[in-house]
Amino acid sequence: MLYPFTFKPILKKVIWGGSDICPFKGITPVENGVGESWELSHVEGNYSIVDNGELEGKSLDELIRSYGKELLGEKVMERFGTTFPLLIKFIDARDNLSIQVHPDDELAKKRHNSFGKTEMWYVIKAEKGAGLYSGFSEQIDAEEYVKRVENNTIMDVLQRYDVNEGDVFFLPAGRVHAIGAGCFIAEIQQTSNITYRIYDYNRKDANGNGRELHTELAKDAIDYTLYPDYRTHYKGHTNATVELADCKYFTTNLLDLDTIMVRNFSELDSFVVYICMAGKASIRDNKGNEIFVHQGQTVLIPADTEVITISPAPGAKFMETYIGQ
């Protein structure tokens, strides 16, 4: 019988990593230089491992192969097969990350036999003056894009946002973007590891070499549409489900709780992921399983679960994600 799963975090030490992930997740001793925690991953070579209950030690891949639609949902398997379609991460950037873009499904399938990458960011914490890039600040075309990369003026036409806790950005495949120094975010994305690097601030490695840029690949992947605002606007409410994103790849809601909430998923036909953003709570399902979760933990609710009851300590906050469309 399936139950709510937690997983061992996959910590990634990188040159640009900060020091927020371990304290946020309650991991001791604190490690510095951790840039990412892969919370729930079905990327080959980085399969998440169950951390609780009788299936502890099994990989997410083994769960999918053993339980299929009970875990994922029938509708989800029809679309994505035996791939878990989402990758959940925390990202802590001490330095600016490169400017990048991801291809959509069609281009990624053609070039890499992979899914594309649509994603979203939720800002958990931001240092004063920290910002990120999403989209363009003025209209350009593919030709101008190539010229601007070559003459180092691409940053002049990117839209930069100062960010604060709670800010949300939805990033469909094709949108140029980058996380800036001082940003600590939660990221929900399609399971895909394909990134085209557009610009890296002319940084050099220890041997004086710049990082590889994917100018030509990115040229055809970029959506050059200019939008007036690339930020997601939402109104927070306590003890309600507040929608942050809704697309064919995922639906994400914010739950800010100080009282018991019951969620009925009997008609959903999808797994549900809870990322605990603050506080702590117990989650009980209709099968009698109960799990206690705290800030920084991610929980996978199997698709065959019909109802869950979340009993929070005051100030508990979750992001809830499933395949809705």
For residue 99, give every residue at least 6 positions away whose Cβ sits within 8 Å of its Cβ, in sequence order, or none: 133, 154, 155, 158, 176, 177, 178, 197, 198, 199, 200
Q: Output the average pLDDT for the chain.
A: 96
Closest CA to 117 of 231, 196, 178, 227: 196
Average pLDDT over residues 205-220: 88
pLDDT of 203 = 87
Complete DSSP assignment for 259-297: S-EEEE-TTT-S-EEEEEEESEEEEEETTS-EEEEETT-
283 near 237, Cβ under 8 Å? no
325 band by pLDDT with thresholds 50, 70 and 90: confident
Average pLDDT over residues 177-199: 96
Average pLDDT over residues 136-148: 97
41 near 187, Cβ under 8 Å? no
Asked if domains 3-230 and 238-320 share a fold, the reply is yes
pLDDT of 209 = 85
Q: How far apart are CA 180 and CA 13, in angstroms?
A: 17
Give the tens place of pLDDT for each residue, 264-316.
999 999 999 999 999 999 999 999 999 999 999 999 999 999 999 999 999 99
Average pLDDT over residues 244-256: 97
Give the tens place of pLDDT for each residue, 37-83.
999 999 999 999 999 999 999 999 999 999 999 999 999 999 999 99
Exposed, middle or buried: residue 8 (CB in 10 Å: 0-12, 13-18, 19+)? Answer: middle
Please give the helix or strand (H or E) that residue 312 lies within, else none: strand 307-312
Superfamily of domain 238-320: Jelly Rolls (2.60.120.10)
211 band by pLDDT with thresholds 50, 70 and 90: confident
pLDDT of 139 = 97
252 near 169, Cβ under 8 Å? no
The pTM (predicted TM-score) of the whole model is 0.96
pLDDT of 208 = 81
pLDDT of 81 = 95
85 band by pLDDT with thresholds 50, 70 and 90: very high
- pLDDT of 4 higher than 90: yes
Catalytic hit among 197, 203, 211, 231: 197
pLDDT of 206 = 73
Average pLDDT over residues 125-147: 97
97 band by pLDDT with thresholds 50, 70 and 90: very high
Q: Token pair of 312, please?
A: 């929070």
31 band by pLDDT with thresholds 50, 70 and 90: confident
Please give the helix or strand (H or E) that residue 319 lies within, else none: strand 316-322
Domain ranges of the chain: 3-230, 238-320
Q: Is 197 a catalytic residue?
A: yes
- pLDDT of 205 higher than 90: no
Residue type, 300: L
Residue type, 157: V
pLDDT of 147 = 96
103 near 221, Cβ under 8 Å? yes
Domain 3-230, what fold? Answer: Jelly Rolls (2.60.120)
Average pLDDT over residues 103-116: 94
Q: Is residue 238 left, alpha or beta, with left meaning phi > 0 and alpha meaning psi from -120 to 50?
A: beta
Binding residues for Zn(2+) are 102, 119, 177
Closest CA to 173 of 221, 112, 113, 233: 221
